[in-house]
Amino acid sequence: MPKCYKLKFLLILVSGYAPLIVLAQDFSYYAKFLDGLYKVLNPLVAVLIGFALIFFIWQIVRYLGAADNEEQRKEAGKFMLWGLVFIFVMAGVWGLVSLIAGTLGISTGETGRSYPEVPEIPS
């Protein structure tokens, strides 16, 4: 990617947060956007991990089915290893994103957002 495209992308990204920097707008719009994005991507990641698990199991079946052909066993073993690596990477990234989202107070879709009650002063 050429340097000018990177700079344009960075400028567009930063200009979206410019109102936050100058305190002209609160963060609620971005928090709602991130909540919606998280609610869409969270099930998608679960489906991808499911597909990776199915792929891994299929490679185990291929490995066991190719008992007489050493080359096919080698190839299936290589794909099993990569499938296992992808499962662990996806699960790790999913956990890391959930940890960061919980730290930032972004709803994970499971419990929703809870706000503290402000006590009223009787008059």
Q: How far apart are CA 22 and CA 108, in angstroms?
A: 29
**Cα 112 to the center of its chain, rounded Å:** 18
Q: How far apart are CA 5 and CA 103, in angstroms?
A: 32
Q: Is residue 88, in this structure, part of any structural domain at all? A: yes
Q: Is residue 9, in this structure, part of any structural domain at all? A: no
**What does the buried/exposed string (b/e) look like for 69-103 if buried means 16 or more CB atoms within 10 Å of the residue's CB?**
eeeebeebeebbeebeebbeebeeebeebbeebee
pTM of the model: 0.56
Q: Is residue 2, in this structure, part of any structural domain at all? A: no
Region 78-89: what's the mean pLDDT?
Answer: 90
Domain holding 53, by residue range, is: 43-106
Q: Is residue 4, in this structure, part of any structural domain at all? A: no
Task: Provide the number of structural domains found in the chain.
Answer: 1
Q: For residue 65, is pLDDT > 70?
A: yes
Q: In this predicted model, which residue has the larger pLDDT, 37 or 109?
A: 37
Give the model's pLDDT for residue 93. 85
Give the model's pLDDT for residue 4. 78
Q: Is residue 54, in this structure, part of any structural domain at all? A: yes
Q: Is residue 74, in this structure, part of any structural domain at all? A: yes
Q: Is residue 5, in this structure, part of any structural domain at all? A: no
